[in-house]
Amino acid sequence: MEKTSSAPIDYKTHVLIAVRSDGAMTVLCDWPHVPTQAEVQEQIDASANGYAAFALLTPTSILPGSSSGSRDRPRSGRWA
């Protein structure tokens, strides 16, 4: 799998998300540009099986992170 980029996240960033059948999501890769279909497919093919769907998306909001306590730690996301 491709290492995620070290470039800052902006509105041109594209993120490939893998979704399991239970709704758990994992970021597989991100690009600072629009990836080709071949680049996206390569990352999907390199990922472990067991994903129900994949989503290629761009951010609609970019919020600053905070390190001021446990309440602000990132959590894994799930769709209800």
Round to the nearest angstrom and report the end-to-end CA distance of the chain. Answer: 28
* Percent of the chain residues topping a pLDDT of 90: 56
In a domain, 76, yes or no: no
Answer whether 57's CB lies under 8 Å from 17's CB.
yes
CA distance 71 to 79: 20
Token pair for 21: 């059948």
| Structural domain containing residue 34 | 1-60
In a domain, 21, yes or no: yes
Q: In the predicted model, what is the mean pLDDT of residues 66-77?
A: 56
Q: In the predicted model, what is the mean pLDDT of residues 5-21?
A: 87
When pLDDT is cut at 50, 70 and 90, the band that residue 56 belongs to is: very high
Q: E strand or H helix at 39, and its extent?
A: helix 37-46
- Structural domains of the chain, count: 1
Give me the pLDDT at residue 3, please: 52
Instruction: Please check the confidence at residue 77 and state whether its pLDDT lies above 60.
Output: no
Give me the pLDDT at residue 6, please: 63
> Which class for 73: exposed (0-12), middle (13-18), buried (19 or more C-beta within 10 A)?
exposed
In a domain, 65, yes or no: no
